[in-house]
Amino acid sequence: MTRLQANLLLALAAMIWGSSFVVQQIGTGTLGTISFTGSRFLLGAFVVLPLALRQLAQRRREGYSFSSRDRLGILCTGLVLLTAAVLQQHGILRTSVTNSGFLTALYVPLVPVLGLLLLRRRVHFAIWPASIGCFVGTYILSGANEVSLAVGDLWVISSTLFWAGHVMLVGIMAGRTQAPLVVAAGQFLVCGLGGLLLGYVVEGPQAADFAGALWGILYMGIFSVGMAFTLQVVGQRHTPAADAAIILSAETVFAALGGMIFLGERLSLFQLSGALLILAGILAVELLPHSRLGRPKALD
């Protein structure tokens, strides 16, 4: 696979994820947040399962055996994914599709920050102004006239911490096992079963609730979870990480377009400047470390 083909796969994944923000807002019916999340990820697990089983058999032929530590890592990855998805879904129902799409992208600059704090990984100097710019852009994008953000925005922002942690865990587990599809299917299974169990206890869904959200579950499970995450895994094996992050962050643009086309949402020029500030921070974090300016003394 060429680098151009890989980038096109990542762009398609970003498009699917961007469009899914609309589905997450209008396709849940009366089904609760946790139950909807569990349903779509369990379906996604079954979509990826055939590819995962094939890769698992291949790794076994190569002499690799999944240890208890590997299984624990996949379990933790799935639980972090469940937390991130539930918080995001809860917030999406309480804010605009445009805001939720742009705010979710805050996980991109958060990844190196958490890497520095938790894993002692040094970061490029660009991360600090970029993080401040993203915070200011978040406030502008919210359109709030007061200091506090909208309730839904705060839920989505809280989910980005777990999305950032999830990205780090996926990288660790995929690198450790050399079986990204197995890791993907395993985390989806944990997230799906955990979400349905917790949803049953907390929300008490009925069969009619699942029926009302059927089309949303099918779209999110097949396309957003099963297809888009698989495209991401395949694409990132053939393109540099910086390219991949930039292309995947385009989901924010597709989310805004989806909100405008299907829900009639509009951004004022003031809000648009906040969105652009967030994207500028994301691009700075991903591009500057690979520029001539950043290479000689890239790390501080």
pLDDT greater than 70 at residue 296: no
Residue with tokens 């000689």: 296
Q: Which residue has the higher pLDDT, 81 or 157?
A: 81
The pLDDT of residue 123 is 60
Q: Which of 82, 90, 88, 123 is nearest to 104 (CA)?
A: 88
Q: Which residue has the higher pLDDT, 162 or 2?
A: 162
Q: Which residue has the higher pLDDT, 168 or 85?
A: 85
Let me know: does 177 contact 171? Beta carbons within 8 Å.
Answer: no
Q: Where are the domains of the chain?
A: 3-290
Alpha carbon 52 to its chain's center: 20
pTM over 0.95: no
Most confident of 20-29, 57-66, 145-154, 236-245: 57-66
pLDDT confidence of 279, banded at 50, 70, 90? confident
Q: What is the pLDDT of residues 139-158, one digit of tens each?
A: 676 565 444 556 777 888 88
The pLDDT of residue 62 is 92
The pLDDT of residue 146 is 45
**How large is the average pLDDT for residues 191-206?**
94
Q: How many Cβ atoms from other residues are within 10 Å of residue 145's Cβ?
A: 5
Percentage of the residues of the chain whose pLDDT score is greater than 90: 31
Judging by beta carbons within 10 Å of its beta carbon (0-12, 13-18, 19+), is residue 262 exposed, middle or buried? middle
Which range (22-31, 52-61, 118-127) has the least confidence?
118-127
